[in-house]
Each structure stands twice: as C-alpha cells, then as structure tokens.
Amino acid sequence: MLIIFCILFFIPHSFAFSLPDPYTTFSKLNLPPGVNGGSVSLDPLNQGPYVATSDGRILKYNGSDFMDFAYLSPNRDNLLGIPAPLGDSTGRILEYNTVTGEVRALLKDLPRPAGPAVSADGTFIAYGSYNTQQIFKYYLQGLKAGTTEVLVPELPGAPGITKRAVEFGYFWVGVNQMVQQQPTPVVQAYGYKFSSNGNVVLIKNFTTEYGNARVNVVQEYFNLLQGGTLYAGSRTSNYVGKYTKW
Ligand SMILES: *[C@@H]1O[C@H](CO)[C@@H](O)[C@H](O)[C@H]1NC(C)=O
Ligand SMILES: *[C@@H]1O[C@H](CO)[C@@H](O)[C@H](O)[C@H]1NC(C)=O
C-alpha cells in the first residue's frame, strides 16, 4: 500500500495513465418492449436500478424485470431522445436551493452542456460540452469560486451526463464517437473515468456490447461481493448494461 501511494504521489500532474479494464463481465437488463433508457441509478439501499425511460416513466428493476415506479410526464411524450440544434450555445446550468426552493443560473450561454456532477467534497461541478467534446470544471468554493476551467480537453466524441465514480474525487462520463464507415458513420461508445485534475485513468470500450448504440450515462456503484458494478444507460437501446468485475 505504501509503495502504491509513493508512486501515485510522484506522478506528475499532467501524466495520463490508464488502468486495465476490470469490468469484464456483461449482462443485459432488458427494458419493456419499445422503451429506451437514458439514465440509471440505484437507491441508497442499492436497490434497482431505476431508469428514466424515453416515454416518461421511471422503472425499477426488481431482480428479474423492470416494473413501473413513477411517471414523469402525463402524456408520455418522448422526453429523452431530442438532441438540441447543432451550434446552439444557449445552454445553462441551474442551481436549485433545497432550503429556499430558489433556482438560479450558475452558468449561461454554454455550447450544449450535458448533465453536471457535484464533486464529492462539494467544491466544484464537472460537466461535459456536447459541442466542444470537453469536460469543464466550475468552482463552487475556494479562491477560484465562480470560474471555469477545461478539465478534460480532448474527448474523441460527445460526452453525456457526468456522474461521480465510487472513488472519492473521480468521475465517469459516457462518450460517443462517430466513426466514418461505409455506407454510413457508426457510433462507438466509451466510458471515461477521470480524476478531479482531469487525468483519464480508465477508458471502458462499450462497442462490443452496444454495437452502433450510444451510451448516455455511466453509473458506478460499490458492491461488497463483486467489488463494483458499472451500469450503462442508453437512449438508443432497449436495455441497461450491467458490468461486474473480473
Ligand atoms: C418482478 O416483476 C415481475 C413482473 O411484474 C414478476 O413477474 C416477478 O415475480 C418479480 N420478481 C420479484 C423478485 O419480485
Ligand atoms: C473498441 O472496440 C471496438 C470493437 O471491438 C474496436 O473496433 C475499437 O477499435 C475499440 N476502440 C479502441 C479505442 O480501442
């Protein structure tokens, strides 16, 4: 343990290294017919996953099937599948104060931001930009409060929603790369795990299991028996992908 700490300590700030992919066992949690799921999360008791679907429902996985849990939209229109116009830069990141109920815009005029994640220590948020294919860091506290930095400068494709990883200070984001192929371009989906300093430590290649489908969210949970579970939600797939270790 001491040796590992020493090595990590002396790695220069910008040094990018990648760990071997531990999430080698895959299973599909099938959604009801005709429904896709763009988000996925467990509850505090690790029950679920819960999935927000393309037709405005929240479904809960009971160990063998997804069952209705809640409704988001009374008319169940397509809520998840509409990308904004290209070149749009009217995106905002809103802050909701749970005590006062007040909502204010933290950031405005952004080029298509994707869902942000608050860091585990609460000092910043990390969010992706669909148009620039980057991850940004916006400081909530400290000397840099109110300022934005580029955290991950070059992704191979558009990032989805950023989520906190199991380890303190790390995040996951789904990245969808358009690859030119005949007769039409195809999507290759990846999960990028990165640190608070922007070091990419793991790249999970989803292409074998997802084919030409996108991965919009990657959620990692600690799991005592298997060491960790990775869920991948896709707006263009009829299932939630579940990866376990080794
Ligand atoms: C899960 O839901 C399905 C469909 O409603 C049901 O048939 C099955 O018995 C449930 N399984 C458990 C473990 O509750
Ligand atoms: C990801 O996997 C696909 C399918 O095996 C492969 O074609 C692609 O080159 C891989 N991407 C990288 C960056 O290795």
Residue 11 identity (one-letter amino acid): I
**How far apart are the CA of 62 and the centre of ligand 1, in A?**
6
Residue entry with tokens 């809960």: 60
**How far apart are the CA of 50 and the centre of ligand 1, in A?**
15
Which residue's C-alpha comes closest to atom 7 of ligand 1?
65
93-117 pLDDT, tens digit each: 898 999 999 999 999 888 888 889 9
Mean confidence (pLDDT) of the chain: 86
- Which residues surround ligand 1 with Cβ inside 6 Å? 62-65, 67
Q: What's the pTM? A: 0.86
Please give the CATH number for the structural domain made up of 3-244: 2.120.10.30
Beta bridge partners, 194, equal: 171, 200
Residue that wins the pLDDT comparison between 228 and 123 = 123
- Which residues surround ligand 2 with Cβ inside 6 Å? 188, 205, 207-208
User: Rounded CA gap, 42 and 49, in Å?
Assistant: 5
**How far apart are the CA of 64 and the centre of ligand 1, in A?**
6
Instruction: Report the relative pairing of strands 239-244 and 25-30 from DSSP bridges.
Output: antiparallel
Name the pLDDT band for 86 (thresholds 50, 70, 90). Answer: low
3-state secondary structure of 112: coil
pLDDT at 13 over 80: no
